[in-house]
Amino acid sequence: MNNAYFVAGTDTDVGKTVCSCAILYAAQQANITMVGYKPIASGSENTPQGLRNSDALLLQQASSVSVTYDDVNPYTFYRPVSPHIAANEEHKTIEFDLLSQGLTKLKTQADCVLIEGAGGWRVPINNTEYLSSWVKQEQLAVILVVGIKLGCLNHALLTAEAILADGLTVVGWIANQIHPVTDNYTAMITWLEQHLPGKKIAEIPYIPINTSDKETTTHQQLAQYIDLSLLSER
């Protein structure tokens, strides 16, 4: 197993956080110390402690070591928009050096760091750079989350091709059923198994979540679908 993985999505709202938390809880069950890292998060709430993003909080809670919120999420933006728009609105600059410093610090606290991306692979952080540029700089192994829905085959293959074109490796992928009923589900999974690089490390079923307490419990239950051993196979 590598000391860091980047969780990329085929689009926004495909379940990166659900899958990331499932991986983190699976690591706990396997006695692997793994910590979640959400370098950039848009869409947050004002709290007495400051801006807090719900996805980053879930990653913090699912981590097997105790870390501060700022360690998990160095760039927190209020509006749920693309990071380059949010940063511009708040007069901030997203710096790769800060992202790398945060990753280096977390690597000293756990066996593995699980880094959740923002949006899709080519999400911009300014007018000339993308979050994927930082992933390439760090030479991170990638886990791809595919939200199973109409259009996902095209999105998944294009994303995988872009990752490979950046010289990176898709070490595994997760099929996440984001709707209660999905037409041609089995046929789509079969096609993805035949065409995507890397191992299918999980099929996550659709489970409705109504409250934050149930959300945590559900993520713990979803850990059973994750096969971490496949990440060590090449």
120 marked ligand binding residue: no
Is 53 known as a binding-site position? no
| DSSP conformational letter for 206 | P
136 is in an annotated binding site: no
- What order of strands is seen across the sheet that includes strand 112-120? 34-37, 112-120, 4-9, 141-148, 170-177, 199-204
55 annotated ligand binder: yes
- Which one, of 219, 221, 225, 228, lies nearest residue 54 by Cα? 219
Whole-number Å distance between alpha carbons of 24 and 22: 5
5 is in an annotated binding site: no
Report strand pairing: 34-37 vs 4-9: unpaired
Q: Is 100 annotated as a binding residue?
A: no
Is 183 assigned to a binding site? no
Q: How far apart are CA 20 and CA 26, in angstroms?
A: 10
Consult the annotation and say whether 13 binds a ligand: yes
199 is in an annotated binding site: no
The reply to whether 154 sits in an annotated binding site is: no
Q: Does 118 count as an annotated binding residue?
A: yes
177 is an annotated ligand-binding site residue: yes
Query: How far is 98 from 112, CA to CA, in rounded Å?
Result: 19
d(CA 76, CA 125): 13
> Does 14 appear as a known binding residue?
yes
Q: Where are the beta strands (DSSP E) in the chain?
A: 4-9, 34-37, 40-42, 45-47, 50-52, 75-77, 112-120, 141-148, 170-177, 199-204
**Residue 44 DSSP class:** -
Which has the closest alpha carbon to 114: 156, 80, 77, 72?
Answer: 72
Q: Quick one: tokens of 9? A: 């999505």
Residues taking part in catalysis:
38
Feature table: binding site: 13-18, 42, 55, 116-119, 176-177, 205-207
Specify binding-site residues for Mg(2+).
Answer: 17, 55, 116
Which residues make up each annotated binding site for ATP? Answer: 13-18, 55, 116-119, 176-177, 205-207
